[in-house]
Amino acid sequence: MASPTSEQSTLWRNADFLRLWAGQSLSQLGSYVTYFAIPVIAVTVLNATPQEMGVVGFLLRAPMVLFLLFGVLADRVRKRPILIWTDVARFVLLMLIPIAWFADMLTLVWLYVVIFLIGLLGTMFQVAYRSYFPFLVPMENFLEGNSKLQLTESLANTVGPGIAAALLKVIAAPVLLIVDAVSYLASAIAVALIKRPESRPEADDTTARQIHKAIWEGILWVMKHPLIRPLAISSAVFSLFILGAMNSIYALYVIRELGVPAAWFGGILAGGGVGAIIGALLAVRVMKRYSVGGVLVWSMVYGNVALFLIPLATGEIWLKVAMLVAAQVVSGVTAQVFFVTNTTLVQTITPPQLQGRVVASIYSLGLIPAPLGALGAGLLAGVAGIRPALWVVITIGALVPIAAMAWSPLAKLKQMPEPAGQ
């Protein structure tokens, strides 16, 4: 492997990678502003009920079920046009919300349609840019390039809600989406400036049945592997109950149940981004110091247990906010440590010919349950109340993944296995 200095200088001289990096960073920034602004608009402008918030969360995440199909399609078309036009389309769609608000036409149905299409385009962007990255970056620079992309995603997670919260003090929530829309347009321009020509993939005669078979080959390999299976199961449960269920009613809980000002909500979410940055910087050191299994299990234990601070939040407003921020920071740190270790392990033990399908399978198993969790949490909160619903989803979503990891062969894994054969 090249020295860190040579790796860094190589990538800093790779102008096309820098343009992709800029586009990815701007698009991620826009996405995090969107995920902050949409729930705030639903709660504060449209007075959404818990059930309606569940629908919002469901529609934001429902397009994720197409992740595997988009992965297959991305191998058959040029990726750069997908990146450009998904950003342009998101710019147009987001502009429709403030326009409708100014015209006094904004309704929940209008919001539902826009956020579903935004989620669909965002899923397409994610698949395309992850597939386009190896085209621009030499293999010896994959680790550094992925580290840069992951770090900027963490920064976007921090800066996006922070910017949104600051702007929310002086402008209405729907107007905030104009800033978000502009970030997507800037991303499209950055990617459009990439100079390296991309050839069109050769047409093939792959049938729908063969595509289906190829997809299932990756899924079955994941579920049969003793080290990857518990990661996939834990990811699916966490996605269903935490990413989907808890997050769909989180804004409602913080703003309406706890009485936290809406402008503070972005600052609370930014705590997760701060933690993610710290975790991204610590991940490699932690991996070198402790066993692989220990890092995976204990990072999950600390991060998931911290989530119980959310339903426990009570007392003065400052104490509530402090508990929520603490949960975000700890979860952010541990999630990044877990993600880097998890990704490295999967890449190491997966055969090269299955890399794409295995990654897509794990992402899909982790993302597909989220919309169902969002919908279920809204219904549960409407019947039992918001805080009791949080207790249910966090208890299951936090403890079941810990059990799945702790009682698997992963817990005893001391070091990275030998790389998979060609």
Q: What is the per-residue pLDDT across 296-323, written as a single tens digit (0 to 9) for each?
A: 999 999 999 999 999 999 888 899 999 9
| Helix spans in 79-107 (H) | 79-102
- Whether 48 and 117 share a structural domain: yes
Count of domains forming the chain: 2
Q: How far is CA 148 from CA 13, 107, 155, 191, in A?
A: 14, 39, 10, 17
Range of the domain at 418: 211-422
204 occurs within a structural domain: no
- Whether 184 and 241 share a structural domain: no
In whole angstroms, give the CA distance from residue 394 to residue 401.
11
* pLDDT at 240 (0 to 100): 86
More confident residue, 4 or 159: 159
201 occurs within a structural domain: no
Task: Give the contacts of 82 (CB within 8 A, at least 6 positions apart).
Answer: 74, 124, 125, 128
CATH of the domain at 83: 1.20.1250
412 occurs within a structural domain: yes
- Whether 405 and 293 share a structural domain: yes
- Whether 245 and 334 share a structural domain: yes
Q: What's the pTM value of the predicted model, to 2 decimals?
A: 0.66
- Whether 184 and 240 share a structural domain: no
In whole angstroms, give the CA distance from residue 248 to residue 419.
39
- Whether 192 and 220 share a structural domain: no
327 occurs within a structural domain: yes
- For residue 147, which amino acid is it? S
Among 82-91, 208-217, 278-287, the range with the most confident prediction by mean pLDDT is: 82-91
- Mean model confidence pLDDT for the chain: 80
Phi then psi dihedrals of residue 312, to 5 deg: -80, -10
For the chain, what is the largest distance between any 2 Cα atoms, rounded to a whole number of angstroms?
64
147 occurs within a structural domain: no
Q: How many CB atoms lie within 10 A of CB 4?
A: 9
Per-residue pLDDT at 2 exceeds 50:
no
Task: Give the contacts of 196 (CB within 8 A, at least 6 positions apart).
Answer: 16, 135, 136
In whole angstroms, give the CA distance from residue 146 to residue 380.
39
| Helix spans in 243-291 (H) | 247-252, 262-289
- Whether 188 and 298 share a structural domain: no
